[in-house]
């Protein structure tokens, strides 16, 4: 379990009300930013402190792994220079009983702040310029909880309203507003659920689950390699090469980024998946074998999946 501290700044209200945190993937110049990269390291169940307007008023729990999502429309003109595609982490937020100003408790909080990549200054309690999501230790997290009279993460109900489904519905609504041909729009909509023309296209290439070998279509799901919500064109959303037919439990692992595939067909398992879990899913042997050839376009889509969906730990 990890603990986090987020400096919201101007996006505070939108993120608290929406039940998430969001950041660009990189700096504007394409350079890596540790505070943005941390978005991919946040796991369900992690604790997170909200810092905005020089005080801590909310503490929450991470509800899901980061998903790639466009900059939330609620941000308006804020972050005009940010890249439009970023990471979104669903969070359940809870207002604390006694909001605190770190400045007023810096003698207790300061010594517990990380020496590198601290979200606030150890001497003054002022926010560090450029810091967004910073990892903190459990001692600091629980010290802040005690000061703010926040009992435990157990009191945070699973009420996150921002998830993959809501992001995809928003994108579908935007597509409808573009006045796309009604037949094509219906096919794109069905593709979001792995149905219709997309499923037919995938079945032509992938007649069975490449992990379990199941070939009964009733027990297979057409899974996008590059997620539907991240496809840039209707072609990508309907492209059979952008799909794999997978058994439901394998589809779940693939969609969440717990597994991916190398170009030679080998399964790559995320370090967050235990051997015991694989055994109970009946996949211990299957994930050690090559799963068959891949087309060049599938390899291109899988490169995206490995970089943007796979949970590398």
As a whole number of angstroms, the distance between CA 180 and CA 191 comes to 15
Boundary-marking domain end, from 106, 136, 155: 155
Quote the number of domains for the chain.
2
Boundary-marking domain end, from 155, 174, 196: 155
Please, what is the end-to-end C-alpha distance for the chain in angstroms? Answer: 12
Q: Based on the fold, state whether residues 26 and 133 are members of the same structural domain.
A: yes
- Residue 155, pLDDT score: 60
- Residue 162, pLDDT score: 52
**What would the DSSP string read from start to end of 93-108?**
EEEEEEEE-GGGGHHH
Using alpha carbons, list the distances in angstroms from residue 2 to 11, 41, 142, 215, 306: 23, 9, 12, 40, 23
Q: Based on the fold, state whether residues 128 and 213 are members of the same structural domain.
A: no
Q: Based on the fold, state whether residues 199 and 113 are members of the same structural domain.
A: no
Paired tokens of 140: 């600091």
Q: Which residues contact 103 (CB under 8 A, 6 or more apart)?
A: 54, 124, 125, 126
As a whole number of angstroms, the distance between CA 259 and CA 272 comes to 10
Domain coverage including residue 178? 164-308
Is 35 within a domain? yes
Is 51 within a domain? yes
In the chain, which residues have pLDDT < 50? Answer: 158-161
Is 313 within a domain? no
Q: What is the domain-level CATH number for residue 54?
A: 3.10.590.10
- Residue 154, pLDDT score: 67
- Residue 1, pLDDT score: 79
Boundary-marking domain end, from 125, 155, 185: 155
Q: Based on the fold, state whether residues 144 and 277 are members of the same structural domain.
A: no
- Residue 59, pLDDT score: 95
- Residue 9, pLDDT score: 84
Is 294 within a domain? yes
Paired tokens of 161: 């309203």
- Residue 13, pLDDT score: 92
Q: Based on the fold, state whether residues 144 and 263 are members of the same structural domain.
A: no
- Residues 56-108: tens digit of each pLDDT: 999 999 988 888 888 888 888 776 667 667 889 989 899 999 999 999 999 99
């Amino acid at each position: 379990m990890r603990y986090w501290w987020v400096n919201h700044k101007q996006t505070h209200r939108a993120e608290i009300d929406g039940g998430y945190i969001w950041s660009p993937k990189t700096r504007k110049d394409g350079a890596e930013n540790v505070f943005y990269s941390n978005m991919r390291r946040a796991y369900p169940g992690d604790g997170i402190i909200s810092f905005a307007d020089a005080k801590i008023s909310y503490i929450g729990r991470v509800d899901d792994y980061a998903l790639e999502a466009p900059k939330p429309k609620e941000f308006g003109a804020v972050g005009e220079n940010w890249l439009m595609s970023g990471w979104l982490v669903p969070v359940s937020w809870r207002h604390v009983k006694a909001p605190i100003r770190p400045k007023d408790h810096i003698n207790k909080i300061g010594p517990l702040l990380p020496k590198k990549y601290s979200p606030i200054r150890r001497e003054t309690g002022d926010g560090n310029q450029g810091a967004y999501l910073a990892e903190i230790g459990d001692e600091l997290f629980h010290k802040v909880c005690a000061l703010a009279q926040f009992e435990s993460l157990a009191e945070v109900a699973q009420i996150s309203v921002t998830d993959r489904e809501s992001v995809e519905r928003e994108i579908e609504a935007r597509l409808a507003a573009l006045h796309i041909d009604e037949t094509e729009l219906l096919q794109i909509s069905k593709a979001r659920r792995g149905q219709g023309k997309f499923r037919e296209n995938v079945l032509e290439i992938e007649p069975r689950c490449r992990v379990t070998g199941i070939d009964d279509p009733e027990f297979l799901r057409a899974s996008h390699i590059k997620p539907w919500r991240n496809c840039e064109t209707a072609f990508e959303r309907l492209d059979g090469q952008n799909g794999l037919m997978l058994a439901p439990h394998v589809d779940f692992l693939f969609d969440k980024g717990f597994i991916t595939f190398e170009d030679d067909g080998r399964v790559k398992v995320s370090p967050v998946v235990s051997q015991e879990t694989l055994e109970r899913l009946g996949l211990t042997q299957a994930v050690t074998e090559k799963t068959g050839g891949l087309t060049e376009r599938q390899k291109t889509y899988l490169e995206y999946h490995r970089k943007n969906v796979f949970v590398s730990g």
